């Protein structure tokens, strides 16, 4: 039975029910899934711990809700349509039955290589169907997957492997990305020099480039699956058994391993997918994210497949071999729902309308946005030229930690308002609070965004460090989950997300902690101290600006700046490379020694108004030097 909301009054009705009787509301939705044993209690929760359990003592396997649930009706329906990086290469269309068999076969391969229920498996792969097969196979045998975006460096990869003590890495020889070919296996080799827990590496042949294969450790994917059966009995999992760990940046130094569990994540991703995108059976849905991010987990793989949808997976980039690539793919497969990020829209907007001209885009019914606030200009361009003015544009606000979309219009059901995420989904109770944590009720209010009641796909912990989970998300405001975002409820009652209020920068929709980038910069032997802030960037949304105190001996300013950028690229990955590096004589500090980031943010955004009183600083004179150094005086 579908729980798709059909009308505005239906939304209002469902929302009210979900707030008045959340347990009854979610129990009714969960009943439409296949459970090996139904739950004894719908919800157990306490935000102090935090300790949240949904569908307590329920037993299930999430992949049975994709495969066994649909095989008799959808065996021959395409589950995944895969479009390669290079349009000249053949595409692949994989039906539900084929995906089922490929998943089972890979389960058998993983088992033969020593993977058991509870083991952690790292997936560091390109956007190919095998990445989804790897995730599903882990879930089916009860292993915990942790996908690491294949643009991260070897040391970022090693940190994640060590944090969760993974036993295996799944990777490829190389990745195609636009005109580039990236030697991924070499990155893995470097990473696992320092990861004692890794026993095996399975390598998918993708680019055919030469790689070193270490005997007894490395095995080709095609050899690993050879001779294995296409049948595998799904492991019985508890609702609260871990499904995956996904690392994400926060305001503290190292990325945190956000933990999602089986039952609640399953229920929420399908429910939110069907409702936000108003997916109808037979539609072709396309989300352009990478499976290395939460959007790829929830809205390329799990949500759509749980809904029995056809999900398109694209290996490449928006501008290769030409800036009309996205639109070409939309027409080629008659895509009905298209979901992308504002940064991609802005990048394509810069190419003008010409690349759109050869394509009709007539099949599109719904367009969506995710990852960062969408500015009004990009909103209108996307709405008018891609959606041709007649597709609802769902601006979906959510986070790695929330597992699924929290605030968004339901396409064509609830009203669209440019640059507003708008209204919460049923079951989601957002509140705007002031600095003291008082709830700001009514309209026309602005403050920090919290959620005051659990929803099924809320994070359960941060891997190996529950205290951190408590401190980061549940301690700032007592009894509430704190999102780290600022928000405004406008005069009509629609929510607008204002961006992060903590030390997290959002670069092209990717989260970077300022402390994390500073730690990387400080690895350079010539660096004495650094401070990193975000600044407005036309395409990326935010760019990274680094202020660095250096020992200049033997270096020119230019060479040092490049070395610093390179250090960050090597330590974290290309996405964290600073856009600007400014060498400074000092950093503005308070008398207690805290860096005044507010001033640095102002200078980085070339805005010298309201710098505030700098006379109370420990070193007021550096402010002038910094302003001059930035070329603003
Ligand atoms: C799904 C995802 C989460 C942060 C979040 C917020 C920003 C995401 C947004 C948005 C405004 C939207 N964000 N969607 N801001 N409007 N529609 O992106 O997860 O990578 O964890 O990032 O992204 O700041 O806190 P994640």
Please give the Cα distance from 530 to 527 (Å, whole number). 7
The dihedral region occupied by 112, where left means phi > 0, alpha psi between -120 and 50, and beta the remainder, is alpha
Please give the Cα distance from 176 to 206 (Å, whole number). 8
pLDDT digits (tens, 9 = 90+) for 593-622: 888 888 999 999 999 988 887 888 889 899
Please state, for a pLDDT cut of 70, what percent of the chain lies above it.
100
Please give the Cα distance from 473 to 119 (Å, whole number). 27
pLDDT digits (tens, 9 = 90+) for 85-102: 999 999 999 999 999 999
Res 266: pLDDT: 98
pLDDT category at 633 given cuts 50, 70, 90 is confident
Please give the Cα distance from 507 to 179 (Å, whole number). 22
Res 50: pLDDT: 97
For 412-432, letters b (16+ CB in 10 Å) and e give bbbebbbbbbbbbbbbbbbbb
Whole-number Cα distances in Å, 53 to 42, 119, 238, 396, 404: 8, 22, 11, 25, 17
Q: Tokens 């400074």 appear where?
A: 584
pLDDT digits (tens, 9 = 90+) for 16-51: 999 999 999 999 999 999 999 999 999 999 999 999
The separation between the first and the last C-alpha atoms of the chain, rounded to the nearest angstrom, is: 66
pLDDT digits (tens, 9 = 90+) for 266-277: 999 999 999 999
Determine which residue's CA is closest to atom 19 belonging to ligand 1: 399
Please give the Cα distance from 38 to 236 (Å, whole number). 12
- Written as six digits, the tokens of 424 are 């919460």
Please give the Cα distance from 448 to 434 (Å, whole number). 6
Please give the Cα distance from 582 to 604 (Å, whole number). 10
Whole-number Cα distances in Å, 245 to 138, 303, 460, 510, 603: 12, 17, 10, 17, 37
pLDDT digits (tens, 9 = 90+) for 402-432: 999 999 999 999 999 999 999 999 999 999 9
pLDDT digits (tens, 9 = 90+) for 203-226: 999 999 999 999 999 999 999 999
Please state, for a pLDDT cut of 90, what percent of the chain lies above it.
94
Please, which residues bridge with residue 338 across strands? 286, 367
Q: How far is the CA of 372 from the centre of ligand 1 (A)?
A: 5
Averaged confidence pLDDT in the chain: 96
Indicate whether 9 pLDDT > 90.
yes
Helix segments in 176-261, DSSP class H: 184-191, 221-225
Whole-angstrom Cα Rg for the chain: 24
- Select from 394, 399, 409, 487 the residue to mutate for testing ligand 1; criterion: most ligand atoms less than 8 Å from CB: 399
pLDDT digits (tens, 9 = 90+) for 366-386: 999 999 999 999 999 999 999
Q: How far is the CA of 250 from the centre of ligand 1 (A)?
A: 12
pLDDT category at 351 given cuts 50, 70, 90 is very high
Tell which CATH architecture fits domain 508-630: 2-Layer Sandwich (3.30)
Cβ(398) – ligand 1 distance below 6 Å = yes
Cβ(123) – ligand 1 distance below 6 Å = no
Determine which residue's CA is closest to atom 11 belonging to ligand 1: 373
**CATH match for 8-317+392-413+420-487 among 3.30.465.10, 3.30.450.20, 3.40.50.12780, 3.40.50.2300:** 3.40.50.12780
**Which residues of the chain are in CATH 3.40.50.12780 domains?**
8-317+392-413+420-487
Indicate whether 117 pLDDT > 70.
yes
Cβ(105) – ligand 1 distance below 6 Å = no
Residues in the chain: 633
**Which residues of the chain are in CATH 3.30.300.30 domains?**
508-630
pLDDT digits (tens, 9 = 90+) for 537-551: 999 999 999 999 999
pLDDT category at 400 given cuts 50, 70, 90 is very high
- Written as six digits, the tokens of 100 are 């089922």
Q: How far is the CA of 400 from the centre of ligand 1 (A)?
A: 8
Indicate whether 1 pLDDT > 70.
no
Q: Region 138-160: what's the mean pLDDT?
A: 97
Please give the Cα distance from 132 to 289 (Å, whole number). 13
Please, which residues bridge with residue 414 across strands? none
Q: How far is the CA of 476 from the centre of ligand 1 (A)?
A: 19
The ipTM of this complex is 0.99
Please give the Cα distance from 440 to 541 (Å, whole number). 28
């Amino acid at each position: 039975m579908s729980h798709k909301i059909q009308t505005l009054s239906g939304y209002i009705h469902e929302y009210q029910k979900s707030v008045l009787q959340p347990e009854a509301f979610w129990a009714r939705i969960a009943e439409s899934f296949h459970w090996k044993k139904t739950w004894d209690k719908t919800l157990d929760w306490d935000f102090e711990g935090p300790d949240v359990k949904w569908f307590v003592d329920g037993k299930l396997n999430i992949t049975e809700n994709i495969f066994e649930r649909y095989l008799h009706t959808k065996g021959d329906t395409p589950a995944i349509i895969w479009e390669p990086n290079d349009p000249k290469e053949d595409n692949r269309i994989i039906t539900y039955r084929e995906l089922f068999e490929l998943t089972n076969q890979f389960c058998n391969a993983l088992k033969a290589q020593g993977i058991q229920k509870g083991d952690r498996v790292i997936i560091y792969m390109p956007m190919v169907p095998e990445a989804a097969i790897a995730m599903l196979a882990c879930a089916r045998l009860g292993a915990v997957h942790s996908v690491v975006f294949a643009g991260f460096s070897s040391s970022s990869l090693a940190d994640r492997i060590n944090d969760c003590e993974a036993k295996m890495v799944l990777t490829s020889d190389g990745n195609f990305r636009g005109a580039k070919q990236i030697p991924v296996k070499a990155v893995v080799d470097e990473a696992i020099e320092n990861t004692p827990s890794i026993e095996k590496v399975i390598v998918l042949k993708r680019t055919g480039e030469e790689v070193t294969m270490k005997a007894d450790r490395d095995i080709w994917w095609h050899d690993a699956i050879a001779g294995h059966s296409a049948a595998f009995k799904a492991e019985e999992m508890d609702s609260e058994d871990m499904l995956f760990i996904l690392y994400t940046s926060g305001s503290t130094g190292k990325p945190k391993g956000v933990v999602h569990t089986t039952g609640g994540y399953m229920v929420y991703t399908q429910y939110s997918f069907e409702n936000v995108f108003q997916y109808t059976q037979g539609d072709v849905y396309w989300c352009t994210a990478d499976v290395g991010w939460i959007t790829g987990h929830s809205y390329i793989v799990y949500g759509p497949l749980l809904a029995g949808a056809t999900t398109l997976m694209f290996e490449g980039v928006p501008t290769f071999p030409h800036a009309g690539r996205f639109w070409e793919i939309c027409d080629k497969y008659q895509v009905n729902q298209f979901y992308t990020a504002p940064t991609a829209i802005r990048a394509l907007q810069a190419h003008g309308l010409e690349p759109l001209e050869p394509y009709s885009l007539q099949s599109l019914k719904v367009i969506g946005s995710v990852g960062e606030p969408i500015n009004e200009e990009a909103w209108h361009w996307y709405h008018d030229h891609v959606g041709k003015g007649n597709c609802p544009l769902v601006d979906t606000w959510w986070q790695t930690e929330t597992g699924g979309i929290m605030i968004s219009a339901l396409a064509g059901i609830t009203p669209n308002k440019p640059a507003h995420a708008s209204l919460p989904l049923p079951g989601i109770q957002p509140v705007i609070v002031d600095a003291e944590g008082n709830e700001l009720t009514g309209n026309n209010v602005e403050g920090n965004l919290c959620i005051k009641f659990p929803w099924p796909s809320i994070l359960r912990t941060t891997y190996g460090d529950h205290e951190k989970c408590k401190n980061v998300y549940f301690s700032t405001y007592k009894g509430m989950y704190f999102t780290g975002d600022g928000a405004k409820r406008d005069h009509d009652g629609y929510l607008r997300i204002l961006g992060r209020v903590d030390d997290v920068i959002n670069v092209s929709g990717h989260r970077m902690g300022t402390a994390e980038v500073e730690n990387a910069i400080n690895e350079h032997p010539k660096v004495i101290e650094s401070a990193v802030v975000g600044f407005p960037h036309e395409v990326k949304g935010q760019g990274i600006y680094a202020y660095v105190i250096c020992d200049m001996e033997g270096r020119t300013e230019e060479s040092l700046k490049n070395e610093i950028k390179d250090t960050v690229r090597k330590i974290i990955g290309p996405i964290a490379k600073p856009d600007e590096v400014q060498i400074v004589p000092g950093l503005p500090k308070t008398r207690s020694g805290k860096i005044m980031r507010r001033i640095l943010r102002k200078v980085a955004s070339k805005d010298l108004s309201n710098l505030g009183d700098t006379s109370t600083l420990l070193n007021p004179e550096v402010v002038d030097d910094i302003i001059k150094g930035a070329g603003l005086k």
